[in-house]
Structure 1
Amino acid sequence: MTIDEKYFPGFTQKWIETEPGIVINTLIGGSGNEAVLLVHGHPETHLMWRFLTPELAKHYTVVITDLRGYGDSSKPEGLPDHSNYSKRALADDQVKVMKALGFERFHVAGHDRGARVLHRMIIDHPEKIKSCTLMDIIATYDMYKETNEEFATKYWHWFFYIQGKGFPETALSADPERFINYNLNLKIGPAARANFPPDVLAEYTRCFSDIRTVHGICEDYRASATIDMQLDEPDRKKKIETPLLLLWGQNGVVGKLWNVMEKWEPLASHIEGTGIPQCGHFVPEEQPELVLKRMLLFLAKHSA
Structure 2
Amino acid sequence: MTAFFPGFEEWDVEATPGVVLHGRSGGSGPPVVLLHGHPRTHTTWHRVAPALAAGGFTVVCPDLRGYGRSSKPDPDAEHLLYSDRAMAADVAGLMSVLGHERFAVAGHDRGAYAAFRTAMDFPERVAALAVCDGVPILEALDRADARFAARWWHWFFYGASPHAERVINADPLAWYGFDAAAMGEENHADAVAAVGDPLTVRAMLEDYRAGLTRDREHDASDRAMGLRLQAPVLAMWSRFDDMEALYGDPAEVWAPWCELPVRRAVIDSGHHMAEEAPDQVAAALAGFFDAVRPDGPRLGARVRGTLTA
Aligned residues: 288
Which stretch of the first structure deviates more once superposed, 291-300 or 41-50? 291-300
Structure 2 counterpart of 1:248: 237
Cα distance in 1 for partners of 2:16, 2:213 equals 23
Structure 2 counterpart of 1:190: none
- Structure 2 residue runs of 5 or longer lacking an equivalent are 296-309
**1:274 correspondence with 2:265:** yes
Cα distance in 2 for partners of 1:24, 1:150 equals 36
> What are the residue-to-residue correspondences of 1:1-304 with 2, within 5 Å?
6-32=3-29, 34-58=30-54, 59-163=56-160, 167-181=163-177, 194-197=181-184, 199-236=186-223, 237-258=226-247, 259-270=249-260, 271-277=262-268, 279-303=269-293, 304=295
Once the two structures are TM-superposed, the CA of residue 207 in structure 1 deviates from its matched residue by 0.5
Contact 1:151 1:253 in 2 (8 A): no
Once the two structures are TM-superposed, the CA of residue 211 in structure 1 deviates from its matched residue by 0.6
Contact 2:80 2:210 in 1 (8 A): yes
What SS is found at the alignment partner of 1:266? helix
User: Given residue 154 of structure 1, which amino acid in structure 2 is its aligned partner?
Assistant: R
Contact 2:267 2:280 in 1 (8 A): yes
Cα distance in 1 for partners of 2:113, 2:255 equals 17
Contact 2:129 2:234 in 1 (8 A): yes
User: Given residue 49 of structure 1, which amino acid in structure 2 is its aligned partner?
Assistant: W
Structure 2 counterpart of 1:188: none
Contact 2:16 2:93 in 1 (8 A): no
1:213 to 1:127, Cα distance in 2 relative to 1, 3 A: same
Task: Quote the sequence identity (%).
Answer: 36
Once the two structures are TM-superposed, the CA of residue 287 in structure 1 deviates from its matched residue by 1.5
Cα distance in 1 for partners of 2:205, 2:84 equals 13
Deviation string, structure 1 residues 161-192 (Cα, Å, up to 9, x no partner): 11255x311111011111121xx67xxxxxxx
User: Given residue 274 of structure 1, which amino acid in structure 2 is its aligned partner?
Assistant: A
CA RMSD of aligned residues (A): 1.8
What SS is found at the alignment partner of 1:246? strand
Which stretch of the first structure deviates more once superposed, 113-122 or 141-150? 141-150
Contact 1:136 1:255 in 2 (8 A): no
TM value normalised by structure 1:
0.90
TM value normalised by structure 2:
0.88
- Structure 1 residue runs of 5 or longer lacking an equivalent are 186-192
